[in-house]
Structure 1
Amino acid sequence: MTTAPWTVDPETCALLVIDMQNDFVREGFPMAVPMARERVPVMRGVVDTCRDRGVPVIYTQHVLYDTFDVSPLETAYIPRLREAGMRDGSHGAEIIEELAPRPDEMVVRKHRYDAFHNTPLHSVLNTIRGLRRVDTVIIIGTLTEACCESTARSAYMHDYRVAFIGDATGALSDAAQEATLRSIRGFFGRVLSAAELAAELGG
């Protein structure tokens, strides 16, 4: 059995909840991901565990505009987003009620898959527990193969340890889910289950 290169320390980690918005989760909404919807209870368990252990919870919110195309390559590859989806101020862009942020929890708005790109996320992580106290990010949410994976890779490039929670992330297919988990496991971080994470956090 291979020894883990590091374990998740509840004193030096933060949880990233990636794009768990109505438009990505609710049935019939523009970018609905059935796997993400099915895994909401597991994600809620991760959020609760982190809150119980004093781990900061940070949300990302993917936002597009009607007034101009803020993400033109995204809408070129997914043309339906030119008409609807994640619109600023809309119900669809809001974080789902089951995972709603608390008033004191950060929500980072973004326009690209990578939650670090042109956002304050790195600054938030660098200060949310005191100056440069966070060295590990825990990732849950959707889409596994797009925003979650892009953010995990970027976290690695920023020298954060990445704990990617396999049963608390949702892809568009089982094949896409497994491909991302294989990539993360091989090069960019550790893949844990929600139960394994809870054990390492001591919760």
Structure 2
Amino acid sequence: MHVGARPDIPWEIDVTKTALIVIDMQNDFVREGAIMEVPMAREFLPNMKRIVETCRKRGIPVIYTSHVLYDDYDVSPLEVAYNPKLQRNGMRSGTPGIDIVEELKPLPHEMIIYKHRYDAFYNTNLETVLRNIRGFHGVDTVIITGTVTNVCCESTARSAFMRDFKVVFVSDANGGLDESSHRATLSTIKSVFGRVMPTDELIAEFG
């Protein structure tokens, strides 16, 4: 259905033109005691798994991102400056910390975008993948799930909007560091950048 077809929402989801992005659901963010542990990401893991499985059944491409740092040089020096513990450990290339958690393990054909900034579009091939994964310009809508809500997830959602993708931000499938920042992002996205909905509503709209 075209934009503005229903007065209560700006646009409806067309599953034939949609892709799912799973942001940074890697061991160093999700596992208990991990260096960048986000308990809310672990709490919402069952919802993310349900969305992934539903998308696979509906033929919606699933794309993963993984945030990667290096021992040899600071590929993201300002990030490390704000998080000094990352100077020596965490999200290191070649370690299990950058692997997607087993519960959401990518299938062999599913893409993992390795990134060095919060925004998954920045200096990666994510946009190229989205523009072609369902045929030439076949994707016009992206579903954002993962962690951290107000950092990598919000940054990527905003960047998708700037590239004229319709954004679906799943309220109970994005894990934040705390409830207040999580809620603030949901409010911001809902106001100007995309549609915010819970897992049940998203799957129901798939039809």
TM score, norm. by length of structure 2: 0.96
Is residue 4 from structure 1 mapped to residue 39 from structure 2 by the alignment? Answer: no
Task: Name the CA distance, whole Å, in 2 between partners of 1:121 and 1:98.
Answer: 23
Tell me by how many angstroms 1:140 deviates: 0.3
Aligned to 1:92: 97
Structure 1 unpaired stretches of 5+: none
Task: Name the CA distance, whole Å, in 1 between partners of 2:13 and 2:90.
Answer: 35
User: Residue 118 of structure 1 aligns to which amino acid in structure 2?
Assistant: N
Is residue 167 from structure 1 mapped to residue 169 from structure 2 by the alignment? Answer: no
RMSD of aligned alpha carbons: 1.0
User: Residue 86 of structure 2 aligns to which amino acid in structure 1?
Assistant: L
Tell me by how many angstroms 1:3 deviates: 0.8
Task: Name the CA distance, whole Å, in 2 between partners of 1:2 and 1:176.
Answer: 29
Tell me by how many angstroms 1:183 deviates: 0.4
Tell me by how many angstroms 1:147 deviates: 0.2
Structure 1 segment 78-157 matched on structure 2, within 5 A: 78-157=83-162
Task: Name the CA distance, whole Å, in 1 between partners of 2:152 and 2:79.
Answer: 12
Task: Name the CA distance, whole Å, in 2 between partners of 1:2 and 1:62.
Answer: 38
Aligned to 1:68: 73
Structure 1 segment 48-59 matched on structure 2, within 5 A: 48-59=53-64
Aligned to 1:30: 35
Tell me by how many angstroms 1:104 deviates: 0.4
Task: Name the CA distance, whole Å, in 2 between partners of 1:69 and 1:92.
Answer: 17
Tell me by how many angstroms 1:2 deviates: 5.9
Task: Name the CA distance, whole Å, in 2 between partners of 1:78 and 1:8.
Answer: 37
Pairing partner for 2:183 from 178, 184, 187? 178
Tell me by how many angstroms 1:127 deviates: 0.3
Pairing partner for 2:52 from 47, 65, 71? 47
Task: Name the CA distance, whole Å, in 1 between partners of 2:16 and 2:109.
Answer: 18
Tell me by how many angstroms 1:83 deviates: 1.2
Q: What CA deviation, in whole Å up to 9, does each residue of 1:87-124 have, x standing for no partner?
A: 00101110000001000001000000000000000000
Q: What CA deviation, in whole Å up to 9, does each residue of 1:1-58 have, x standing for no partner?
A: 9611111111000000000000000011100000001111111001011111100000
User: Residue 44 of structure 1 aligns to which amino acid in structure 2?
Assistant: K
Structure 2 unpaired stretches of 5+: 1-5
User: Residue 125 of structure 1 aligns to which amino acid in structure 2?
Assistant: L
